[in-house]
A = this chain, B = another copy of it.
Amino acid sequence: MSKSLLAKRATQLLGSVIDSSTSLLQKQSHDIVRFAMGSPAAEAIPDFEPLAAKVLGAEAFDYAATEGDPGLRDALLEMLDGTSDRTVPERLTITAGGMQGLDIFGKLFIDPGDLVIVESPTYTNGSATALSYGAELAEVGVDADGMIIDELIEVVDRAGRAPKAIYVIPSFQNPSGTTLSLERRQRLIELARRWGSMIIDDDPYGLLRFGGDDIGSLRSLSDGDPLVFAVRTFSKIIAPGLRVGWVDTAPQHQQLIINAKQAMDTCTNLPGQRLVAAFLAEGGLDQHLRTQRERYRERRTAMQTALADQFGSRATWTDPDGGFFLWVTIPGVDTQRLFAAALAEGVAYIPGPAFSPTGRYPDALRLCFASTPPDRIVEGVARLRRALDA
């Protein structure tokens, strides 16, 4: 079997886990509490209509520069100034969301057979894109402090070769909600340098911290090391449907990235770039983020409380300081089998095995608390309990 066919099968395998959930979901016409998708709250989407009236003239519908529209690039540089993601133009390329940042990484840096380390559990599409370029994946567990670095060393020792890349979601990880500690970030960077491995620093949720203290990004802690390929997006902080994100990489990679992107989608959609730039230019982002953080903190707590009320000691769940997700483990329960019953009761989630390329976590599931108001969260968790009882 050819490498690419292997990759295709792997993609299909992973895809089918999700697709079975979403296509089932789309066929449901009754009221469903949607804990499945990682969407921001509908209430958190800015009102784009006045912005659209201002910026969507005919010139907003031509091809954009492949590296990104100059107005958005400028607004983004200003937005990042003062954060640990502060950067410079020659490191910045606008992408079609964070997902395209991952795809560009795979296209440029993953050769068939390369070892790529992923967190376990991890973001399904991140694994899928690495597999689609022929990577061999190895999973390293996460605990309350993120990827377990001692286990990383063991896994690499066992593999007998250096990983080409280590894929991490350092803040409020998808799906576990846990955050890589400062000490582990530093050890990870040291190991990557020793091994000559690249770090895919995928951080969509970093600006959505609602508890605990900020930790410098891998990009800043590595002081702009070319080994760190930072993937960012407006999907979680502004709106996912825009498909606007960016990568922050060493300047020597920028032209390669621009050329690769040109042969992937020519450029990122310009109306979306103009809307984001206009939103940033109005200066409302800080207040917007403050509102969202408060909203998400409240929803996280509501979900944890509801889980305690409904499941008590029958289940365990994580305690994220930001982001969108709780990771719930219900020992002895097959969450893929539970899914149909949950849908029948009117609640959706993503079963645990979708987050592991080898199908681990049969008794776990991911719940997105971000997109559902607290009273609906209480109702959704009650439905989940009824599904379990059924």
Contacts and interface: CB of A to CB of B under 8 A. Distances in A.
A271 B61 contact: no
Interface string A253-273: 001101110111111111110
The interface centre, meaning the residue of A39, A56, A65 with most chain B CB atoms within 10 A of its CB, is: A56
Interface in A91-133: 96-97, 99-100, 102-103, 107-112, 125, 128-129, 132-133
A45 B58 contact: yes
Contacts of A96: 96, 243, 265, 269
A31 to B, nearest CB: 17
A298 to B, nearest CB: 20
Contacts of A125: 262-263, 266
A267 to B, nearest CB: 7
A387 interface: no
Contacts of A186: none
Given A15-B255, A19-B255, A128-B259, A265 B59 contact: no
Interface stretch (A2-10, A145-153, A192-200, A317-325): A2-10
Interface string A149-182: 0000000000000000000000000000000000
Contact of A240 (B52, B63, B65, B262): B63
Interface of A is mostly: helix
A262 B128 contact: yes
Given A100-B265, A269-B272, A272-B271, A62 B48 contact: no
Contact of A49 (B2, B52, B110): B52
A19 B64 CA distance: 14
* Chain A interface residue bracket vs B: 35 or more
A2 to B, nearest CB: 5
A265 B62 CA distance: 20
**Total copies of the chain:** 2
A11 interface: yes
Interface in A25-79: 26, 37, 39, 42, 45, 47-49, 52-53, 56-65
Contacts of A22: 65
A33 B65 CA distance: 18
A103 B14 contact: no
Nearest to A270: B241
A12 B261 CA distance: 11
A56 B45 contact: no
23 contacts: A8-B108, A15-B258, A15-B262, A19-B255, A26-B65, A37-B63, A42-B58, A42-B62, A49-B57, A52-B52, A52-B53, A61-B239, A62-B239, A96-B269, A99-B265, A107-B132, A112-B112, A128-B263, A242-B269, A243-B267, A243-B269, A269-B272, A271-B272
